[in-house]
Amino acid sequence: MYNQQGHVRARSNRMDPYPTESMIRDCARKAQHRLEQYRDVFFMDHIWGAAETWRERLPGIEMSVFQEELIVRGLKEHADEEDAMPASVQFPIMYVAVLAGECLEEIDKVNESVVTLDLVVSRLYLVPMTNTDLPLAT
């Protein structure tokens, strides 16, 4: 599925060779994958690289079984024979699955922040207030 257009030269610098599939897989598996701009590859391969990332990261995101199954199917590189579709359909579905994963991850982060904030607020209410804690009236 990688480099279906048969590019030979990098997108950002036409003097450099087009990145190999293994190079993109390595970039996708980095801990700092979000810093990767994929400037050397064309859009379809950028989507493919992002899908590679999400195939590995998806199990760590909190979501319903229904959401997970939709995203997993969208991220599949090779659809089941019954679900086979042309690349012109498969890539937009993969793109949406990647975006859904990104959105769910951000929601997960917000939920973690809310839980942390709730803990802080609940601890504040447990600390008894004294008269010295009250602001002075002016």
Structure tokens at 69: 């199954």
User: CA torsion sign, 88 to 90 to 96 to 99?
Assistant: negative
Q: Where are the domains of the chain?
A: 21-126
pLDDT of residue 130: 57
State the pTM of this model.
0.71
User: CA torsion sign, 61 to 62 to 68 to 70?
Assistant: negative
pLDDT of residue 33: 66
pLDDT of residue 27: 79
pLDDT of residue 129: 54
- Closest to 6 in 3D by CA, of 48, 45, 46, 63: 45
